[in-house]
Amino acid sequence: MTKHLKIGMICMVAAVVFMPAALLIKDTNIASAIALIIASMLLEVIGLIFVVISFIKKKKNKQSTR
């Protein structure tokens, strides 16, 4: 597993953990719930970017060895 893929997967798992936490906090503090939802969305996008970079690098390395 490459470094970029590992970082991307960690960010995506963190986003999946933050979303239910935001739903649980929703009743007590709406501002913190919104902050957790935004953080979850940002982590998901960051994770997706790292995973896509990993796949592009893997494809480029495979083509260069041919």
For 9, the 3-state DSSP assignment is: helix
Instruction: Answer yes or no: are the C-beta atoms of 22 and 37 closer than 8 Å.
Output: yes
Average pLDDT taken over every residue of the chain: 90
Instruction: Answer yes or no: are the C-beta atoms of 15 and 51 closer than 8 Å.
Output: no
pTM above 0.85, yes or no: no
The mean per-residue pLDDT over the stretch 15-37 comes to: 90
Which domain, by its residues, includes 30? 3-64
Question: Which pair of tokens denotes residue 20?
Answer: 């239910």
The 8-class DSSP code of residue 26 comes to T
pLDDT in tens, 35-62: 999 999 999 999 999 999 999 998 888 8
Place of tokens 């083509």: 63
Number of domains in the chain: 1
AA identity, residue 46? I
